[in-house]
């Protein structure tokens, strides 16, 4: 199993970064072209994980959409009260 760098967002979602932090023997053999099959297991440790204070792109888009919908509903309710 290889250890990869991972990016954790404030919403709890994460992405794997392409850079390998520490390759296992199977992956190193694949890199040296000694085998045709590389390692398919991705692991991460606290040393390879970075946390950021922003939400992932999907959650940011959902939040923006919800905020716009709530603003539209408030506008319509205000128009009904007048």
How confident is the model over 13-45, as pLDDT tens digits? 999 998 888 888 888 888 888 888 888 888 888
CA distance 2 to 20: 7
Instruction: List all residues 6 or more positions away from 7 whose beta carbon is below 8 Å from its beta carbon.
Output: 14, 15, 17, 49, 50, 52
Sorting pLDDT into bands at 50, 70 and 90, what band is 80? very high
pLDDT confidence tier of residue 76, bands split at 50, 70 and 90: very high
Using a pLDDT cut of 70, give the percent of the chain over it. 100
Residue 59, domain extent: 2-81
8 Å CB contact between 43 and 32? no
**φ/ψ (deg, to 5) at 72:** -65, -40
> For position 16, what pLDDT does the model report?
93
Which three-class secondary structure state does DSSP give residue 71? Answer: helix
Number of folded domains that form the chain: 1
Average pLDDT, the chain: 91
């Amino acid at each position: 199993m290889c250890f990869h760098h991972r990016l954790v967002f404030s919403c709890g979602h994460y992405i794997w970064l392409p850079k390998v932090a520490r390759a296992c023997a199977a992956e190193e053999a694949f890199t040296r072209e000694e085998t045709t099959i590389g390692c398919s297991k991705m692991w991460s440790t606290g040393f390879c994980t970075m946390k950021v204070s922003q939400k992932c792109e999907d959650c940011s888009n959902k939040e923006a959409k919800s905020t716009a919908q709530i603003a539209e509903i408030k506008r319509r309710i205000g128009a009904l009260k007048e």
